[in-house]
């Protein structure tokens, strides 16, 4: 028997960091998962824990770092953690940190007290940071569950038809999807000093270009729209080399109103949640090699 690739860690440590600036408070709400790998053969083969940093310790580190380093962004917090685990333990060769960030907005109230928030009804921000003992970094940011819809400017026709095809062609339809995306930064320790990254701004820019491309594209297929969205990010964000998109087609079908003597001129639809088409692709900067991990489970 041969032991293959393996890792261990603590999954989904829910940490909420409050910063109190007088009467005005700020909140960061994260879900952090740590996976460590390295010289771990003996714990599998003989049960020796000599090289094992406990998963409880990794969980405690997450909470301690939230206090000691603060949480500027999901990416920066993950960088602090990944570097710590690899550099502080000789047996750990690679650390992978996955972060989901849940956004809150302030509830506007009169007076000086600003400590009430409401959870935003929007996407979840994600990040995965990987660092190894060779000094190699990989920073992958992303988002999931961002629901978007175009009520027109979408067609679907000219496709292959066989004996089982029943879908009618359309020259005007609703195009709706739930954007799940992750993108890999062209970031290294060396370039960081010369060109520091504002991770929050980088995320906001990538999100903005995804949305603007979705809105701007006259779509003949969801595949075409996906490519335009990814291409816009690569073109407009020079610090990003690769983006992977997973777009489920949230189908909206015209409701049959004829039995009621009513004409349905693209006005009334029923939304079918399943089954659904699932369109996925990766867009790369010309000359860049694919590097987003295949096991990234955000998509």
> How much is the average pLDDT of 259-279?
87
Residues 128 and 227 occupy one common structural domain: no
Is residue 251 annotated as a catalytic residue, yes or no? Answer: yes
- Render pLDDT for 165-217 as a digit per residue (tens, 0 to 9): 889 999 999 899 999 999 999 988 777 666 778 999 999 999 999 999 999 99
- Render pLDDT for 47-80 as a digit per residue (tens, 0 to 9): 999 999 999 999 999 999 999 999 999 999 999 9
Residues 52 and 119 occupy one common structural domain: yes
**Number of domains the chain contains:** 2
Catalytic residue among 25, 26, 55, 170: 55
Of 132, 156, 186, the domain-final residue: 132
SS (H, E, C) 229-292: HHHHHHHHCCCEEEEEEEEEECCEEECCCHHHCCCCCCCCEEECCCCCCEEEEEEECCCCCCCC
Catalytic residue among 10, 84, 185, 250: 10
Distance CA 105, CA 78 (A): 23
Is residue 69 annotated as a catalytic residue, yes or no? Answer: no
- With H, G, I as helix, E, B as strand and everything else as coil, classify residue 112: coil
Residues 104 and 75 occupy one common structural domain: yes
> In terms of residue numbers, what domain contains 185?
136-299
Catalytic residue among 28, 185, 250, 251: 251
Residues 91 and 161 occupy one common structural domain: no
Q: Quote the Cα angle for 116-122-127, to 5°.
A: 100
Residue 100: closest CA among 132, 122, 133: 122
Of 132, 150, 173, the domain-final residue: 132
Q: Which two tokens stand for residue 189?
A: 């320790």
- Render pLDDT for 229-244 as a digit per residue (tens, 0 to 9): 999 999 999 999 999 9
Residues 126 and 12 occupy one common structural domain: yes
Query: Quick one: pLDDT at residue 192?
Result: 64
Question: What is the percentage of the chain residues whose pLDDT exceeds 70?
Answer: 98
Packing angle of the helix pair 55-68, 74-88 (nearest 10 deg): 130
Residues 125 and 157 occupy one common structural domain: no
Distance CA 36, CA 236 (A): 34
Q: What is the pTM of this model?
A: 0.85
Query: Quick one: pLDDT at residue 262?
Result: 86
Residue 182: closest CA among 151, 149, 145: 145
Is residue 10 annotated as a catalytic residue, yes or no? Answer: yes
Q: In this model, does residue 84 exceed pLDDT 70?
A: yes
């Amino acid at each position: 028997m041969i032991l293959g690739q393996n890792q261990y860690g603590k999954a989904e440590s829910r940490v909420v960091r409050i910063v109190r600036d007088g009467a005005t408070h700020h909140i960061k709400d994260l879900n952090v998962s740590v996976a460590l790998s390295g010289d771990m053969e003996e714990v599998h083969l003989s049960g020796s824990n000599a090289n094992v940093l406990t998963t409880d310790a990794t969980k405690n580190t997450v909470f301690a770092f939230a206090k000691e380093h603060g949480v500027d962004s999901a990416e920066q917090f993950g960088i602090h953690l990944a570097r710590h685990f690899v550099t502080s333990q000789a047996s750990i060769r690679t650390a992978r940190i996955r972060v989901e960030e849940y956004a809150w907005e302030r509830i506007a109230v009169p007076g000086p007290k600003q400590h009430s928030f409401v959870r935003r009804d929007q996407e979840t921000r994600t990040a995965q940071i990987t660092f190894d003992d060779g000094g190699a970094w990989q920073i992958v940011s992303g988002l999931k569950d961002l629901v978007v819809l175009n009520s027109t400017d979408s067609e679907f026709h000219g496709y292959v038809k066989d004996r089982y095809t029943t879908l009618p062609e359309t020259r005007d339809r609703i195009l709706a999807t739930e954007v799940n995306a992750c993108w890999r930064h062209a970031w290294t320790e060396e370039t960081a000093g010369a060109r520091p990254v504002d991770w929050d701004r980088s995320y906001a820019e990538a999100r903005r270009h995804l949305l603007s491309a979705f809105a701007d594209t006259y779509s003949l297929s969801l595949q075409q729209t996906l490519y335009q969205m990814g291409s816009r990010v690569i073109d407009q964000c020079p610090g990003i080399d690769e983006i992977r998109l997973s777009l489920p087609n949230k189908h909206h079908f015209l409701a049959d109103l004829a039995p009621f003597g009513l004409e349905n001129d693209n006005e009334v639809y029923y939304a079918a949640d399943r089954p659904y088409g699932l369109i996925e692709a990766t867009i790369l900067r010309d000359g860049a090699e694919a590097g987003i991990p295949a096991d990234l489970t955000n998509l």
